[in-house]
Structure 1
Amino acid sequence: MSATNEPIITDASSPFDPTAKADVILRSADFVDFAVLQYLLKLASPFFENLFGDASPDIVKDEKPVILMQEHSKVLRPLLLLLYPSAPPAFDDIDVLLEVISTSSKFCIDSEVFLGSLRHAVLISPVMQNNPHRLFAIGYRHHWTDICKAAATRSVALEVESALHRRIFGDELSHITAADLYVLMNYHREIADLALRIAREIDSEHRDGGGSATSQLQVAEFPNTIWFSSKDIPFPISFFKDHTTGCKSVLSTRKIWVYDSSNPADPDVFTVDVPAFFYDYILEVGSRFRDKPSKDTILDPGLFQKAVDKAIRDNSKCAKCREDANNIIRRLHDWTYVFARVVEDKMKEVKLNLNFS
């Protein structure tokens, strides 16, 4: 308030600023003026039809009637953005999101178009990354399948062991049943089982790959899932040629199982040689993935840099390795994204058994 106890009124930013095409102004509880078109808001809800119809022009600004709202600008702005043909709002604060949901219900805004825009905004907002457990409960309460699935997927990338702490769910936990919570718990368990299986199979297929380079089986005969395609391995056969005597890339090779991607109908499984630093990198990826089942684990830049540093350290005396260094790093980088997609696709096969009542 100013010295005369008059509120300081500010104008909202685009698309609700004074230059906007508008015929009415909504003034928020914290004295922010939003210039809007009545027609667009009336299309969204009969609430606005009544609001504008009952308004008396006691306050006029820029020849437009000013309507006093009870809502704070931090709530009113994202709500109006969802009603306008504009970029969706970014929700950083889940409590603001909850207020927007509550206000939209109060304003009787329940069209599929609006709810679709709201869910889309949530899916791409920081709240999905930071508050997936609370969003799962919110999604379950409102029967929003897409929110529940995205929140469940994101939640497993966080600390799984803390998933049942009440503080992670906030007050939203009181709005879902034990059966609803079990859906997420069971999803976490199945993802954890998958992560453990991936870690074990990555480990075992490498340790079991110590046989002859000509070892070959049909995929159907192999007891584990083979995670690596021969075309995706970042080290072609030519990689091991023309190295300096004593090069660790050649002396410390390991064998891993791969499948022949050239024959997808009936692929063979065989072993190929890879440098020790790549072998160690794969095993560490598997181990880390067991504890944090997410593609982010595979794409962890720290893990990648560790492998690169080991490659450079092991092969600093080899002229061929020094010459190929940039290509090695690029191929290894590309491989991590290929492998991340493979694992992510496998994780998508785990079903979230929603049962809205």
Structure 2
Amino acid sequence: MSTLNTLVITDASSPFDSKAKADVILRSVDLVDFHALRYLLTLASPFFDSLFNDASPDIIKNEKPVITMQEGCRVLGPLLQLCYPSSPPLFEDIGVLMEVISTASKFCIDSEGFLGSLRHAVLISPVMQANPERLFAIGIRHRWGDVCKTAAARSVALEVESALHRRTFGDELSHITAAELYILINYHQEIADVALRIAQEIESGSGPANANVVAPYPNNIWFSSKDIPLPISFFKDHTNGCQSLQITRKIWVYDLHPDDHVFTIDVPAWWYEYTLDIGFRFRDKPCREMILDPELFQKAVNKAIHENSRCTKCRDDASIIIRRLHDWTYVFARVVEDNVKEVKLNTDFS
């Protein structure tokens, strides 16, 4: 008995099992038979057209020619699945993904349909959740803008989720330049700096706002005066010596009515310091939880009320201050999150 007869040949799972509508069988190097339609495969790449025309199969199974491939089933299966109008394969192993990409390149499979399915499979894969930095490098190499953007954002999120996470790369790093790697590093930094940048931009220093002052800063964040947790009446009727009056800062705000215009208002230093504290904390861990950190909130409340306990107005307004400060925190969180979404990944492709 020959060695070939002792080997076990199995059929692939759906959609390439023996029940599938097929006119050819592709046999992987590890003896898994994939029942496929030539027409669908030739649409994906001329490689398959040449393969079917040039092949002279010696084996016939279920009246279908069997063509032996050099690829294993774990690569051939996902590759064929991407050529079919079916659900994309689920890549759980980045090694398999890289082999599929390499094989697709070898087979010159570059149709829009195939590449779109491949990118979609990468975007939803468990690999994206676990190894975003490696997928970022792969995305850079192949100029896949959607993969790069998603991988960069996931990389930031993963560092937030786990203090033990470290950016990891494999052999794919050798295929990108230092400048391209810096794109990811710079993206991380820009995300981390968003909250602090906003906090610093709203401070005016002193003096009224006018067109000459505002014009150089078209991208600045301007808060509505209604968002600020302290009404103009806040500065009235305080006890002499109240810290809320003695130490103040000026910030830019705008009003929508009657005209859109920017102007400055005074705020107590403890409020602005609270906003800065949020910015510094967000820089360490860029997530919503840092903005809403109850420890920072309580620190601001202590400065606003307890350190001014001798001031009758501060005591009387305590509940109002706490509520307004709480509301401001959520306003600030919304603005920060909106601006995080606007951070661009500075690639030269989309």
Task: Check the 8 A contact 1:281/1:307 in 2, yes or no.
Answer: no
Residue 221 of structure 1 is matched in structure 2 by 213
Residue 78 of structure 1 is matched in structure 2 by 78
SS in 1 for 2:26: strand
Residue 162 of structure 2 is matched in structure 1 by none
Verify: 1:181 aligned to 2:178, yes or no: yes
Q: Counterpart of 2:16 in structure 1: which amino acid?
A: F
Query: 1:171 Cα shift?
Result: 1.4
Task: Check the 8 A contact 1:199/1:290 in 2, yes or no.
Answer: yes
Q: Counterpart of 2:79 in structure 1: which amino acid?
A: L
Query: 1:235 Cα shift?
Result: 6.0
Verify: 1:287 aligned to 2:284, yes or no: no
Task: Check the 8 A contact 2:132/2:152 in 1, yes or no.
Answer: yes
Query: 1:228 Cα shift?
Result: 5.2
Q: 1:1-357 alignment to 2 at 5 Å?
A: 6-7=7-8, 9-13=10-14, 15-53=15-53, 54=55, 56=57, 58-61=59-62, 64-148=64-148, 150-151=150-151, 168-176=168-176, 180-185=177-182, 188-189=185-186, 192=189, 195-196=192-193, 199-203=196-200, 205=202, 217-218=209-210, 221=213, 226-227=220-221, 229-230=223-224, 233=227, 257=251, 259-260=253-254, 262=256, 266-271=260-265, 282-291=275-284, 297=286, 299-301=287-289, 304=292, 306=294, 336-345=333-342, 347-348=343-344, 351-353=346-348
* TM-score of the two chains, using structure 2 as the length reference: 0.63
Task: Check the 8 A contact 1:234/1:332 in 2, yes or no.
Answer: no
Q: Counterpart of 1:304 in structure 2: which amino acid?
A: L
Task: Check the 8 A contact 2:44/2:83 in 1, yes or no.
Answer: yes
Unpaired runs of 5+ residues, structure 1, are: 160-165, 241-249
Output one character per residue of 1:216-267: Cα deviation in whole Å (capped at 9) or x when no partner: 6347536987535328849696xx9xxxxxxxxx9xxx98846336379953
Query: 1:145 Cα shift?
Result: 4.8
Q: Counterpart of 2:340 in structure 1: which amino acid?
A: V
Pairwise CA RMSD: 5.1
Output one character per residue of 1:160-193: Cα deviation in whole Å (capped at 9) or x when no partner: xxxxxx98332123334xxx32243266348636
Q: Percent identity?
A: 45
Unpaired runs of 5+ residues, structure 2, are: 160-165, 235-243, 306-315
Give the Cα separation in 2 of the matches to 1:95 and 1:70.
17
Give the Cα separation in 1 of the matches to 2:334 and 2:129.
20
Give the Cα separation in 2 of the matches to 1:280 and 1:90.
48
Task: Check the 8 A contact 1:228/1:257 in 2, yes or no.
Answer: no
Give the Cα separation in 1 of the matches to 2:193 and 2:251.
19
Query: 1:310 Cα shift?
Result: 5.0
Structure number, greater radius of gyration? 2
* TM-score of the two chains, using structure 1 as the length reference: 0.62
Q: Counterpart of 1:336 in structure 2: which amino acid?
A: A
Relative to 1, partners in 2 of residues 1:333 and 1:113: Cα closer, same or farther, differing over 3 Å? same
Q: Counterpart of 1:290 in structure 2: which amino acid?
A: R
